[in-house]
Structure 1
Amino acid sequence: MSAPDVYLRSVGSALPGERIDNAMLARRFGQNRLWEQWVAMFVGTSSRYLSVDLDTAEVRFSLADLGETAARAALSRAGITAQDVDVVVLGTATPDQLMPATVNLIADRLGVNNVPTYQMQSGCTGALQALDVARQLIVSGRHRTVLVMGGDVCAKHFDLSVEFGDRSPGEQINALLFGDGAGAAVLSAEPGPGNQAVVRDLFVRFTGLGRPPGQTVEWFGLADRGDDRPGAFEDYKAIERGVPVLAVEILDELLDRTGWAKDELDVVFPPQLSGRMTQTIVKEMGLAPATREVSCVAQTGNNGNALPFLQLEQGVHELAPGSRSVLVAVESSKWIKAGLALEVLYPKG
């Protein structure tokens, strides 16, 4: 007996504040026009959205704020209410607090109660880890409708009092790459209105045995608050070498598991590190000319676990019946591979 279909009913997202382009960053950090051009050329990210005000250092949005907005959008588009939700799952690397869990704060705001809630602690594959948990709960027959969220807010890791030029390269790159945001999706055992996107495959796999972390994000408590370790550090060269290779491996595995040919793919949602890195990854994937790539990182910044939802929101509702798409995600802090395959069914009758 085959497993029941799991439908992607809807997707929603939320970005904080105004768009911050490279010129605004250059002015804030005391950099010149050449620096701005260097960011555009070598990083390839033209803008991002931040939950912290660059001028005042005031934190204006929390992950709970953004998650609630994204969740309400996803529920509305799915044509359901919070009372129809059986489970809530959140994937994030940057919860608002260690306790209470941010997923529970969002559930409370939405009016969800007396249902299981789960929070996945992970980098850029956390969104797919959350989707995988949701899918398995639906396939088991225990639950029928799951609200899945993913997002990251880096405000607590921004120290605007430190001169930008005094930071190490590993710290500087974080200020250029990252942004904030949240996304949400409704997975269900029942189809909704419009196109019926079905999850054909979804896997998540730790692949970091013996590999040094590509990124480290600290969480300081009272005992080590005065520690001089940087709050976040990135080995961008290791990521630059490793992610394209892993992305190709994920794509090949998805094709093998689904039995699809590469030239049968209508849309690919590639990993979103930066504008430049995404271009490199797509080139390594060797996609067919007719395959459409859906990326957003150059405009939104790398907002971690929000990115898969932002990509899906851009592309999935435009997919025609019979179309096939895959989403590839890589978590480089301790190396996790994740992939999602979607197929849009033809309307019944």
Structure 2
Amino acid sequence: MYARIIGTGRYLPEKVLTNKDLEQLVDTSDQWITERTGIRQRHVAAEGQTTCDLAEQAARQAMEDAGLKPGDIDLLLVGTTTPDLVFPSTACLLQHRMGMAECGAFDINAACSGFIYALSVADQYIRNGTARNVLVVGAETLTRMLDWNDRSTCVLFGDGAGAAVLTADENPGILSTHIHANGGYSDLLKVDVGVSRGFRAEARGGVSVSMKGNEVFKVAVNTLGRIVDETLAANNLEKEDLDWLIPHQANLRIIKATARKLKMSMDQVVVTVDRHGNTSAASVPMALDEALRSGAIKRGDKLLLEAFGGGFTWGAALVAY
């Protein structure tokens, strides 16, 4: 039994923040941002708009695409590092809004790898027969924890949500998933605020992302190269057997490095980073939905989804669409 993707959706907040806009906020330039990241604009959640609000829009779109009703869902997973509350989980809040009965619902925090991690969990539940239909969402409001005076980070991130509905099917779907982590790199990319450490964000100047960009870049490129090899080997496939690469949209240079590793043309790579920025756990499902709705991806195509994020965490999923 396979977990097959039967519906996808995405949602981006209305407000768009361009590189030109950022030039008015911080000492940077459109050219500097574009050359180093490939990002030209990003979306920013409105005042009062939460991660659950974004997730709901993407989830409803995915459910409509799948042709399922709320009562058909057996499990709801939300990958996010920016939950509405410490608890209840954003998944529980979303479950209530969607009118789903009492299916299992929980968040997964694996930073930018959150959707891949959640996809892997969903795949296991379906393969072992515990669930038949699973709704997987990646949603973030990362702009809420940016230091707008730090030009090394504030230019990178955006808000958004993507969703996918998986169902049990005898026809091929998710062929394999692979997830890893190494907490030894935690100081390279983090948000240095936590409940159990006994301090509040206000006392430390607010919540903000800190990142040592060059070091993160080097580890990301090498790590993603390894997981590509691992995924292909696990499925007895060669690089040329892949039809599409759907990567985490963090940095265009990282995306191009992974494509070179796979010897894939950029025409076979889904790229949204220029318009969305880094939306963390939301980036892969949004890119997947965009490619599907454009008609670029066809049934039977083999897709490699991959991501790398704080933790460090990283993961990949090979999908026969």
TM-score by length of 2: 0.91
**Structure 2 Cα separation of the partners of residues 30 and 140 of structure 1:** 51
Deviations 1:133-187 (CA, angstroms, capped at 9, x unpaired)? 1111111112100111111112431456xxx3xxxxxx42221000001111101
Counterpart secondary structure, 1:308: helix
**Structure 2 Cα separation of the partners of residues 231 and 248 of structure 1:** 29
**Structure 1 Cα separation of the partners of residues 58 and 209 of structure 2:** 26
Report what 2:5 is aligned to. 8
CA shift for structure 1 position 101: 1.1
Report what 2:153 is aligned to. 174
Structure number with bigger Rg: 1
> Does the aligned pair in 1 maintain the 2:147–2:209 contact within 8 Å?
no
> Does the aligned pair in 1 maintain the 2:146–2:207 contact within 8 Å?
no
> Does the aligned pair in 1 maintain the 2:146–2:209 contact within 8 Å?
no
> RMSD over aligned Cα, in angstroms?
2.2
Structure 2 residue aligned with 1:218, among 192, 196, 221? 192
Structure 2 residue aligned with 1:36, among 26, 30, 35? 30
CA shift for structure 1 position 246: 0.9
**Structure 2 Cα separation of the partners of residues 181 and 107 of structure 1:** 18
Report what 1:270 is aligned to. 247
User: Structure 2: which amino acid aligns with 1:12?
Assistant: G
CA shift for structure 1 position 40: 1.6
CA shift for structure 1 position 219: 3.4
**Structure 2 residues without counterparts, runs of 5 or longer:** none
> Does the aligned pair in 2 maintain the 1:268–1:291 contact within 8 Å?
no
Counterpart secondary structure, 2:204: coil
Moved more, 209-218 or 71-80: 209-218
User: Structure 2: which amino acid aligns with 1:281?
Assistant: T
> Does the aligned pair in 2 maintain the 1:6–1:199 contact within 8 Å?
yes
Structure 1 residue aligned with 2:316, among 339, 343, 349? 339
Structure 1 residue aligned with 2:19, among 22, 42, 67? 22
> Does the aligned pair in 2 maintain the 1:45–1:276 contact within 8 Å?
no
Counterpart secondary structure, 1:189: strand
**Structure 1 residues without counterparts, runs of 5 or longer:** 53-58, 165-170, 345-349
Report what 2:277 is aligned to. 301
**Structure 2 Cα separation of the partners of residues 91 and 271 of structure 1:** 13
User: Structure 1: which amino acid aligns with 2:166?
Assistant: L
CA shift for structure 1 position 30: 5.4
Deviations 1:90-123 (CA, angstroms, capped at 9, x unpaired)? 1111111101211111111110121111211120
> Does the aligned pair in 2 maintain the 1:67–1:151 contact within 8 Å?
yes
Counterpart secondary structure, 1:64: helix
Task: Count residues with an aligned counterpart.
Answer: 316
**Structure 2 Cα separation of the partners of residues 217 and 198 of structure 1:** 35
**Structure 2 Cα separation of the partners of residues 30 and 129 of structure 1:** 34
User: Structure 2: which amino acid aligns with 1:145?
Assistant: N
Establish whether residue 257 from structure 1 lines up as the match of residue 251 from structure 2: no
Structure 2 residue aligned with 1:324, among 292, 302, 311? 302
Report what 1:98 is aligned to. 86
**Structure 1 Cα separation of the partners of residues 279 and 118 of structure 2:** 16
Q: Percent identity?
A: 25
**Structure 2 Cα separation of the partners of residues 69 and 308 of structure 1:** 16
CA shift for structure 1 position 12: 0.6
> Does the aligned pair in 2 maintain the 1:294–1:315 contact within 8 Å?
yes
> Does the aligned pair in 2 maintain the 1:9–1:197 contact within 8 Å?
no
User: Structure 1: which amino acid aligns with 2:33?
Assistant: V
Moved more, 272-281 or 234-243: 272-281
